[in-house]
Chain A
Amino acid sequence: MPIDKFITLQGTFVPLPIENVDTDQIIPARFMKGTTRDGFGDNLFRDWRYHKDGAPVQDFVLNQGVYSGSILVAGKNFGSGSSREHAAWAITGYGFKAVVSSFFADIFRNNALNNGLLPVQVSEDFLSEIFAAAADPATELRIDLEQQLITLLSSGRSEPFDINPYKRNCLLNGFDDIDFLLNIKDEIVQFEQNR
């Protein structure tokens, strides 16, 4: 699926200071029955966001009406567990474009990048500072993919973040891996013949 270009993103963020947010929390398996990529955003964090009867859990951050923005900031080891790409679809479907955490699970990181969702890994210390700064919901973050830099505007503190140069290039240009692989199909056939 072609992805949107990502260059810089500046805005408020939604803090979720919980660690080990696994993909079962991001999108419970029972909401994975779609055969298209659409509609998963409605069930993002379903069991934290809604009571059993469908009524919203008032004090869950997405329901409080205090925080908004297209950046999600979460605790360590975000996206562990199942390989379901539905987790990335739920997050982008809800409207997030970047997730900030001090640690990401491998498969989630890949899935996110394949859907134009930028995982930004920051130090433990910087993450705590961001959570603390969330006391003011108007606080903004700026994520610059070209410079690979994330800045907390309230304090001016910046931190560089890592991203695979190939993936960075894909995001900056809106390419995807399949386009790349289709272009080298002859080489793949050659590889098969030489085995």
Chain B
Amino acid sequence: MQRTLFDKIWDSHVVREIEGGPSVVYIDRHLVHEVTSPQAFAGLDSRGLKVFRPQQTFATCDHNVPTLDQHLPIRDVLSRMQVETLAANAEKHGIHHFGLNNPNQGVVHVMGPEQGVTLPGQTIVCGDSHTSTHGAFGSIAFGIGTSEVEMVLATQCIMQPKPKKMLIEVNGTLGKGVTSKDIILYIISKITAGGGTGYFIEFAGSAIRSLSMEARMTLCNMSIEMGARGGMIAPDQTTFDYVQGRPYAPVGEAWDKALAYWKTLRTDEGAVFDRTCRYEAADIEPMITYGTNPGMGMKITGVVPDGSDLEGNDRKSFDKSLNYMGIQAGKPMLGMPVDYVFVGSCTNGRIEDFRMFASLVRGRKKAEGVTAWLVPGSKRVEKQAVAEGLTDILREAGFEFRQPGCSACLAMNEDKVPAGKYAVSTSNRNFEGRQGPGARTILASPLVAAAAAVTGRITDPREFL
């Protein structure tokens, strides 16, 4: 029988099927961070258990670390306690740990791929919904809750019903100034924030094939924002070239063997999906969001919808959302003043994102009155940005580069956007209060963020390209 990429990986990881229940699925890589793990380790302790496969478990701290003065003790007591608890748990159980003073520390979904911890054909979980990022390598990667973290720590397995399968194809060539962030915001605006629930997505088509690994990660990262369990892309030469030579990637004979297997990881001709969506790259333009879920997106040159096609509670939610945002229906957003710009997160905090940002702000100046937070996704990204001279370009343009962490993506540390202020963010969620109580988030690509940072307004980046 013809199988999809998802079927192939899933089937080879099922330990046991339960009558009328979920499958017991074996997990190759377990990523851990400080916020969703303490209760899981405590649960393990109370059962008198040790981590079952510590060599397959990789921890880092990212969610609540400060992005300035990381060499100093963390000031927020509770954050410090979570970071210290993780370090102690890692030590106790002998798991890999990239703590604050480790040169490989970073946002968990930036660190994993960088280290070669993420490989094609694997099952990967983490107590974080954006684990879907790792699907870019042709792996089944999804977020789990803390009880499930405990489960994987204890048994290296998880209990999951097999999701339905969705194919999303994007064909053709992307226009100037259109990035993978725009592709995914476009897709979510079509499918809606809940439209992918119950599905696991495979992204395919010529426009997807042409993307770099980092761009693919941006895309898969946000598959969760349509409610899907995850998204994946079949591995190809781009994938293999990226993986080869990374610290935890296989070498020598093991590499050859792995590569031979990875090359079989593709959806068979004629395999069946439960749902298929096709889009044309040429229809996609730079995107922004106007509301409080990632499905509320539009092309940057568009006008905010008026919700007249909605009824009842849908309409109420729509109006509540625009009201929170202080944005008017039926009006364009181009030219709207912006207070904050945040470039970072596991969506767009990689080196290519900062290259994009720097390419646009080079030789220009940060607009007066805009506060910009440029936060690298990892220590490696930070180092690379310095090595490439990006930090110099940014400094000349009036920007400062901070230290790695999740930062304003979820505002658990001090990087909070004040109430009522508008932030153009390259992160993935524009929920009410996500970037701080009352903060108003406009999701966009690094290019749109750069155009806003130098003009102080929502600006079409194509004007500068």
Q: What residues make up the interface of A, taking CB atoms closer than 8 Å to B?
A: 1, 17-20, 22, 24-25, 28-30, 32-37, 47, 52, 75-77, 80-86, 88, 103, 105-107, 110-111, 114-115, 128, 164-167, 176-178, 180-182, 184-185, 187-188, 191-192
Of A1, A24, A30, most buried by chain B (CB within 10 Å of CB) is A30
Chain B residues with Cβ below 8 Å from A110 are 144-145, 148
Chain A residues with Cβ below 8 Å from B412 are 29-30, 32-33
Chain A residues with Cβ below 8 Å from B313 are 17-19, 75-76
- 6 contacts across the A-B interface (CB closer than 8 A): A17-B313, A32-B412, A84-B36, A166-B159, A177-B147, A192-B26
B411 at the interface (CB under 8 A from A): yes
Chain B residues with Cβ below 8 Å from A176 are 147
* Complex CA distance for A85 and B145, rounded to whole angstroms: 5
Chain A residues with Cβ below 8 Å from B429 are 22, 24, 81-82
B194 at the interface (CB under 8 A from A): yes
- From known contacts A20-B193, A24-B429, A166-B18, infer whether A181 and B145 are also in contact, taking CB-CB under 8 Å: no
In the complex, the answer to whether B47 meets A178 with C-beta atoms within 8 Å is yes
Q: A81-B431, A184-B16 are in contact. List 7 more A-B contacts (CB 8 A).
A: A19-B317, A22-B431, A32-B35, A83-B143, A83-B145, A105-B194, A187-B16
B81 at the interface (CB under 8 A from A): yes
Docked complex: B119-163 residues within 8 A CB-CB of A: 127-129, 131, 143-148, 150-151, 154-157, 159, 161, 163
Chain A residues with Cβ below 8 Å from B432 are 24-25, 47
Of B127, B155, B198, most buried by chain A (CB within 10 Å of CB) is B155
- From known contacts A33-B82, A77-B194, A177-B159, infer whether A188 and B15 are also in contact, taking CB-CB under 8 Å: yes
Docked complex: B48-83 residues within 8 A CB-CB of A: 49, 63-64, 76, 78-79, 81-82
| Nearest CB in chain B to that of A169: its residue | B21
| Nearest CB in chain A to that of B38: its residue | A35
| Nearest CB in chain A to that of B434: its residue | A24
| Nearest CB in chain A to that of B150: its residue | A178
In the complex, the answer to whether A18 meets B317 with C-beta atoms within 8 Å is yes
| Nearest CB in chain A to that of B152: its residue | A181
Docked complex: B384-417 residues within 8 A CB-CB of A: 410-412
The smallest C-beta distance from B70 to any residue of chain A, in angstroms, reads 18
In the complex, the answer to whether A35 meets B81 with C-beta atoms within 8 Å is yes
Chain B interface extent, by class: 35 or more
B461 at the interface (CB under 8 A from A): no
In the complex, the answer to whether A28 meets B64 with C-beta atoms within 8 Å is no
| Nearest CB in chain B to that of A170: its residue | B21
B331 at the interface (CB under 8 A from A): no
Of B18, B144, B157, B419, most buried by chain A (CB within 10 Å of CB) is B157
* Complex CA distance for A37 and B438, rounded to whole angstroms: 27
The smallest C-beta distance from B274 to any residue of chain A, in angstroms, reads 15
B189 at the interface (CB under 8 A from A): no
Interface string of B261-291 (1 = CB under 8 A from A): 0000000000000000000000000000000
Which 7 residue pairs of A and B lie closest in terms of their CB atoms, listed nearest first?
A166-B21, A85-B145, A33-B78, A165-B20, A35-B38, A111-B145, A83-B143
Chain B residues with Cβ below 8 Å from A114 are 145, 147-148
The smallest C-beta distance from B37 to any residue of chain A, in angstroms, reads 9
In the complex, the answer to whether A37 meets B197 with C-beta atoms within 8 Å is no
- Select A18's contact among B42, B49, B193, B320, beta carbons within 8 Å: B320
* Complex CA distance for A24 and B39, rounded to whole angstroms: 19
Chain A residues with Cβ below 8 Å from B143 are 83, 107
Of A22, A24, A83, A103, most buried by chain B (CB within 10 Å of CB) is A83
Chain B residues with Cβ below 8 Å from A165 are 19-21
Chain A residues with Cβ below 8 Å from B317 are 18-20, 75
B22 at the interface (CB under 8 A from A): yes
- Select B154's contact among A19, A85, A181, beta carbons within 8 Å: A181
- From known contacts A18-B320, A114-B147, A114-B148, infer whether A106 and B42 are also in contact, taking CB-CB under 8 Å: no
The smallest C-beta distance from A174 to any residue of chain B, in angstroms, reads 14
- From known contacts A52-B437, A182-B155, infer whether A106 and B227 are also in contact, taking CB-CB under 8 Å: yes
Chain B residues with Cβ below 8 Å from A128 are 312
In the complex, the answer to whether A107 meets B129 with C-beta atoms within 8 Å is yes
Docked complex: B1-56 residues within 8 A CB-CB of A: 15-16, 18-22, 24, 26, 35-36, 38-39, 42-43, 47, 49
- From known contacts A85-B36, A110-B145, A114-B148, infer whether A191 and B15 are also in contact, taking CB-CB under 8 Å: yes
The smallest C-beta distance from A103 to any residue of chain B, in angstroms, reads 6
B433 at the interface (CB under 8 A from A): yes
